[in-house]
């Protein structure tokens, strides 16, 4: 496989909870292959300072040796501006703006994908922030629209008026949530509408997915992967000509994640709960029917039971590629 068949950038998506600083550090050291790790959104407030919890994710010391891009979620231009300046002072060269989060608690406030319903207000938001000569590049991560792909033509018109470093498009609508298949035909139209460098996001799980996406959309600036890179942590390494993940590597990876969360939270019980979330995705890399084995991991109440359940899953052996076992059909 030639690296030249791939887009220039292979990025990790900003995943809340699972894409934490603990994950980024362990993944980069054991697997690598990621050009940029996008940090899950932080919400700036009128207090004009980041909280200690936010700093645990965005502080340079938490991401030493990594190329990371922080993401902001807000609908107040003033809050975006102070946060962008603060991030620039930390040494960041780029900040990403979240226009894709579909969670009801977010969109009800007109944030994330909720902002896509108000293109005129969104345009005023961008006019305000770019009038301030920000000391940091701004990129955006968006969806194709709220409830109809026909909405993207107007959104693209808004985006094209401003000097974004790039636009990452998750090829779904807000109303899709994460269900159904990515809307590739509509993404093709969006790619034509936009004048910025464009990255693709959606349903990338295997090497073939990456190659076929790059072949179908040869002008992509990059591909962004979230759940697929947790399901197969070696995905980007393989795309660059490296080896697949081994059982031993997955064992070491999950052990280091667990101990990392134990140190970060000072709670082995909470760390155990977080690991069950990772195994929901990681189980899809293993051969055979892994559902009963994953359920055993979920039922584990003690570390001893957890270790035994994980050992049983590891003994299944690894498949050549991960499955998209989390797929849910569209409501349409």
Q: How many CB atoms lie within 10 A of CB 273?
A: 12
CA dist., res. 208 & res. 22, Å (int): 29
Q: What is the dihedral of CA 176, 178, 180, 186, to 10 degrees?
A: 60
Low-confidence ranges of the chain (pLDDT < 50): 1-2, 4
Assigned architecture for domain 3-239: Alpha-Beta Barrel (3.20)
Q: How many CB atoms lie within 10 A of CB 329?
A: 8
The pLDDT value given to residue 8: 87
The pLDDT value given to residue 86: 98
Residues 33-69 pLDDT 10s: 999 999 999 999 999 999 999 999 999 999 999 999 9
Q: Are 293 and 312 in contact (CB under 8 A)?
A: yes
Residues 24-35 pLDDT 10s: 999 999 999 999
- Tell me the residue ranges of DSSP E strands in 171-312: 198-201, 222-225
CA dist., res. 47 & res. 179, Å (int): 37
User: Coil, strand or helix: which one is 208?
Assistant: helix
Q: How many CB atoms lie within 10 A of CB 250?
A: 22
Q: Are 288 and 248 in contact (CB under 8 A)?
A: no
Predicted structure pTM score: 0.96
The pLDDT value given to residue 1: 44
CA dist., res. 305 & res. 38, Å (int): 34
């Amino acid at each position: 496989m030639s690296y030249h068949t791939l887009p220039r950038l292979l990025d990790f998506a900003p995943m809340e909870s699972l894409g934490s600083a603990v994950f980024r550090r362990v993944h980069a050291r054991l697997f690598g292959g990621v050009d940029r790790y996008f940090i899950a959104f932080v919400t700036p407030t009128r207090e004009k300072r980041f909280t200690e919890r936010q700093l645990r994710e965005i502080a340079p010391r938490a991401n030493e040796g990594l190329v990371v891009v922080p993401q902001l979620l807000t609908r107040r231009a003033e809050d975006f501006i102070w946060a962008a300046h603060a991030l620039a002072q930390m040494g960041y060269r780029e900040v990403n703006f979240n226009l894709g989060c579909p969670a009801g608690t977010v969109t009800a406030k007109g944030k994330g994908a909720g902002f896509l319903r108000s293109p005129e207000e969104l345009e005023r938001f961008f006019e305000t922030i770019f009038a301030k000569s920000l000391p940091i590049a701004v990129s955006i991560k968006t969806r194709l629209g709220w409830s109809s792909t026909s909405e993207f033509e107007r959104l693209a018109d808004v985006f094209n008026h401003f000097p974004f470093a790039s636009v990452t498009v998750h090829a779904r609508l807000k109303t899709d949530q994460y269900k159904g298949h990515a809307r590739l035909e509509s993404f093709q139209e969006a790619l034509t509408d936009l004048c910025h460098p464009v990255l693709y996001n959606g349903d990338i799980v295997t090497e073939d997915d990456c190659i076929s996406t790059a072949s179908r959309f040869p002008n992509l600036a990059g591909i962004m992967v979230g759940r697929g890179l947790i399901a197969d942590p070696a995905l980007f390494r393989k795309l660059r000509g490296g080896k697949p993940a081994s059982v031993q590597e997955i064992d070491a990876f999950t052990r280091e994640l667990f101990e990392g969360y134990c140190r970060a939270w000072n709670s082995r019980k909470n760390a155990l709960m977080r690991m069950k979330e990772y195994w929901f995705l990681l189980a899809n890399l293993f051969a055979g029917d892994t559902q009963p084995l994953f359920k055993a991991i979920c039922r584990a109440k003690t570390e001893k039971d957890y270790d035994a359940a994980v050992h049983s899953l590891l003994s299944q052996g690894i498949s050549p590629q991960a499955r998209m076992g989390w797929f849910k059909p569209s409501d349409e």
